[in-house]
Amino acid sequence: MIDTWMRKLEATGRADGTGGPSARTVRYVFTILRSALSDAVKP
């Protein structure tokens, strides 16, 4: 599900519909998500 969401973000992430955010922004979003999920499972 996350992979599908990331691909959709790359393709259609901008609010004006002119395309997705830059590759750097997508990587940043993934990094934040990974960190949040990692923190969520820590005891």
pLDDT of residue 15: 61
- Count of positions (residues) in the chain: 43
pLDDT of residue 23: 77
DSSP assignment of 1-43: -HHHHHHHHHHH-STTSS-PPPHHHHHHHHHHHHHHHHHHH--
Question: How would residue 43 be classed by pLDDT, with cut points 50, 70 and 90?
Answer: low
The sign of the dihedral angle between the CA atoms of 20, 26, 32, 38 is positive
Per-residue model confidence as pLDDT tens digits over 6-42: 888 877 766 666 767 777 888 898 999 999 999 998 7
